[in-house]
Chain A
């Protein structure tokens, strides 16, 4: 079963929920936690384990071989991303603009633009008891997160049985990286805070997930701060609120040091247990 933790607004507590939930679940069963926020992955700062695998991840880009090139300019013509250009007697490739569609390469009449791998990030796999933790990190300067997210999801699919509970820490927002990180999930848990910013971005996230026809539940973090408009909105739109994590300065302090919270604050553990029962009900109803 795949559960994506997403949020709309950044900094609402996605990583806190993902790491604490995965660790609590791992006390009794096998769990895979994957950090898909490849631009700024943070889950690893809260999970300790033994590194069992490390892989470089590549995207494919064209490389110009001038010997056979007849400078016909077809490559420039077929590229929709301005990533290949004919400048005088040279063909220039701009790797950061390339989406890796292969059109220039495969349609080149002289095969002068073979595709070569370019490193875009790293995947690391850690293990600690029942918990497998996987994180991928984009190299600074690489602009596209989606290909790395895709390869990370493939790694998880290839290495773990279908039935294992898999938790994915998704990137913030509602644009293409979020779609990639959530589109295969069975269940989406949206973490928000009860503030105008939180609600505004939660609505965007809910609209996005409705478009993807996803089942969702809402987790309100920092409950007690702000106002009650998030609760009102969820009630009116029939979206279940499955946990309310209290607003406590102590939680922010524990988090700041890179520590798990539920082991120190019983109220948080109770809320996580309520998330777990929501998940297992869903699992039973849908035979996942």
Chain B
């Protein structure tokens, strides 16, 4: 089974629109995973019909039993996150600041502190319009542990693919270079980098590729909005050549991406234009890898 992960470093390069197009072109032979759990958008284009919805528990949160607390302050003293201030003469854990390390509970002389598993979001399996399944998730507000939720989504998608005899899992990754991206990349067979020819597009592409290299995963690149700045597009192509990254395609700036999105469609369903041809060819290349 192949796991194709699409990432971008920088947001707003068209990653999700392009991933959804590939998901559409892959049809019923693939399983889709939306690992951008922080701002999951792909479901808006895939008409999900919810089949399974489950709470996701991960990480711990300290809780103080005020009846047992003798107000010695040891917990606040050892906490590196200043997460236990005194409010109205009581030691109170601030959930957004608590890192879940449990040091406070270890030093509490009266065992007044318990560490409880936190509900940090939900994950779903849906039937989507391409007659296959998509695994997606919603991270709770301000939740930690998005990396673990990403891993959960990916593992569920892989299990579904195995069960259904499908040979490709296509993954919409998250932006940045931190823990959710690391989680998105682990175990990938091929990475598609979506970028745009701007100073920030290039900067973020280089940084995220450094991370991809650490994983030793083969990568290809799609330059979206390529005609916005031809100079920068050429610089990206040079970078791809130097780093031996496959050049998959250049896509011109096209507001039809947005028009399709407002109708809940991927651009390949929206019209038969040039973009559709480019994406079809790109998908042919990617799925053969």
CA distance A214 to B43 in the complex (A): 29
A225 contacts the other chain (CB 8 A): yes
A103 touches B101 (CB 8 A): yes
Could you mark each residue 254-279 of chain B with 1 if its beta carbon is under 8 Å from any beta carbon of chain A, else 0? 01001001101000000000000000
Could you mark each residue 96-130 of chain A with 1 if its beta carbon is under 8 Å from any beta carbon of chain B, else 0? 00011111001100000000000000000000000
CA distance A10 to B201 in the complex (A): 12
Could you mark each residue 259-287 of chain A with 1 if its beta carbon is under 8 Å from any beta carbon of chain B, else 0? 00000000000000000000000000000
- Complex interface: chain A residues within 8 A of B201 (CB): 256
- Complex interface: chain B residues within 8 A of A172 (CB): 11, 38-39, 175-176
How large, as a class, is the contact surface on chain B? Answer: 35 or more
A56 contacts the other chain (CB 8 A): no
Q: Please give me the residue from chain A that is nearest to B60 by CB atom.
A: A80
Contacts A/B (CB < 8 Å), 10 sampled = A9-B39, A11-B11, A11-B12, A11-B13, A39-B207, A40-B203, A100-B80, A196-B261, A226-B261, A256-B198
B27 contacts the other chain (CB 8 A): no
CA distance A227 to B260 in the complex (A): 11
- Complex interface: chain A residues within 8 A of B44 (CB): 196-197, 200
B161 contacts the other chain (CB 8 A): no
B199 touches A258 (CB 8 A): yes
Shortest CB–CB separation between residue B75 and chain A, in angstroms?
Answer: 12
CA distance A197 to B264 in the complex (A): 10
- Complex interface: chain A residues within 8 A of B38 (CB): 172-175
Shortest CB–CB separation between residue A45 and chain B, in angstroms?
Answer: 4
CA distance A40 to B177 in the complex (A): 7
CA distance A46 to B179 in the complex (A): 27
- Number of A positions contacting B (CB below 8 A): 61
Given A102-B78, A172-B39, the answer on whether A208 and B142 have CB atoms closer than 8 Å is yes
B142 touches A40 (CB 8 A): no
- Complex interface: chain B residues within 8 A of A197 (CB): 16, 41, 44, 261
- Complex interface: chain B residues within 8 A of A252 (CB): 198, 225, 228, 253
A195 contacts the other chain (CB 8 A): yes
Given A174-B39, A176-B142, the answer on whether A15 and B11 have CB atoms closer than 8 Å is no
Q: Please give me the residue from chain A that is nearest to B197 by CB atom.
A: A256
